[in-house]
Structure 1
Amino acid sequence: MDGVIYRGSRLVPGASDFITRLRNHGIPFRFLTNNSQRARRDVALKLRRLGIEASENEVFTCAMATARFLASQKPDGTAYVIGEHGLAAALHRNGLTVVDDDADFVVVGEGRTLTFEMIERGVRLVEKGARLIATNIDPNCPTDQGIRPGCGAIVAMIEKATGVQAFSVGKPSPIMMRVARKEMGLRTDEIIMVGDTMETDILGAVQMGYRSVLVLSGGTRRQDLKRFAYQPDIVVDHVGMISDEFIFDKMPMALAQ
Structure 2
Amino acid sequence: MNKLGFLIDMDGVIYKGNQLIAGAGEFIERLRAAGYPFLFLTNNSQRTRRDVATKLMRMGIDVGEQHIFTCAMATARFLSRQKPKGTAYVVGEGGLLQALHQNGYSIVDVEPDYVVVGEGRTMTAESLETATRLVLGGAKLIATNLDPNCPTASGIRPGCGAIVSFLEAATGRKALSVGKPSPVMMRAARKQLDLVASQTVVIGDTMDTDIIGGVQMGYHTVLALSGGTQRQDLDQFAFRPNHIIESIADLADPACDLLGMFSDRSTDDDTVSDLDQWRELQLANA
TM-score range for the pair, normalised by the shorter chain length: over 0.9
Match of 1:146 in 2: 155
Inter-CA distance 41–138: structure 2 relative to 1 (3 Å threshold):
same
Mark the runs of 5 or more structure 2 residues left unpaired by the alignment: 1-9, 265-286
Which of 235, 247, 257 aligns to 1:245? It is: 257
Which has the larger displacement, 142-151 or 103-112? 142-151
Report Cα offsets for 1:107-133 as digits up to 9, x if no partner. 001111211211111111101010000
Q: How does 1:124-203 map to 2 (within 5 A)?
A: 124-203=133-212
Inter-CA distance 57–171: structure 2 relative to 1 (3 Å threshold):
same
Inter-CA distance 72–13: structure 2 relative to 1 (3 Å threshold):
same
Question: Aligned equivalents of 2:197 and 2:114: distance in 1?
Answer: 31
Question: Aligned equivalents of 1:221 and 1:8: distance in 2?
Answer: 18
Q: Percent identity?
A: 60
Question: Aligned equivalents of 2:223 and 2:187: distance in 1?
Answer: 19
Match of 2:245 in 1: 236
Report Cα offsets for 1:141-185 as digits up to 9, x if no partner. 233443322111111100111111110111111111111111111
Match of 2:267 in 1: none
Inter-CA distance 147–61: structure 2 relative to 1 (3 Å threshold):
same
Match of 1:222 in 2: 231
**Local SS of the residue matching 1:212:** strand
Shift of 1:245: 2.2
Shift of 1:225: 1.1
TM-score with structure 2 setting the length: 0.84
TM-score with structure 1 setting the length: 0.93
Mark the runs of 5 or more structure 1 residues left unpaired by the alignment: 253-257
Question: Aligned equivalents of 1:112 and 1:5: distance in 2?
Answer: 24
Which of 128, 132, 138 aligns to 1:123? It is: 132
Shift of 1:137: 0.9
1:16 and 2:25 correspond: yes
For the aligned residue pairs, the C-alpha RMSD in angstroms reads 1.5
Shift of 1:241: 1.7
Rg larger in structure: 2
Contact 1:81 1:98 in 2 (8 A): yes
Contact 1:7 1:144 in 2 (8 A): no
Which of 206, 211, 221 aligns to 2:215? It is: 206
Which of 93, 117, 124 aligns to 2:102? It is: 93
Which has the larger displacement, 113-122 or 200-209? 113-122
Report Cα offsets for 1:35-63 as digits up to 9, x if no partner. 10111111111111111110111111100
1:42 and 2:51 correspond: yes
Match of 2:283 in 1: none
Inter-CA distance 47–104: structure 2 relative to 1 (3 Å threshold):
same
Report Cα offsets for 1:80-125 as digits up to 9, x if no partner. 1011100000000000001122111000011112112111111111
Inter-CA distance 220–145: structure 2 relative to 1 (3 Å threshold):
farther
Inter-CA distance 146–224: structure 2 relative to 1 (3 Å threshold):
farther
Code of the residue aligned with 1:119 in structure 2: it is L
Aligned residues: 252
Match of 2:276 in 1: none
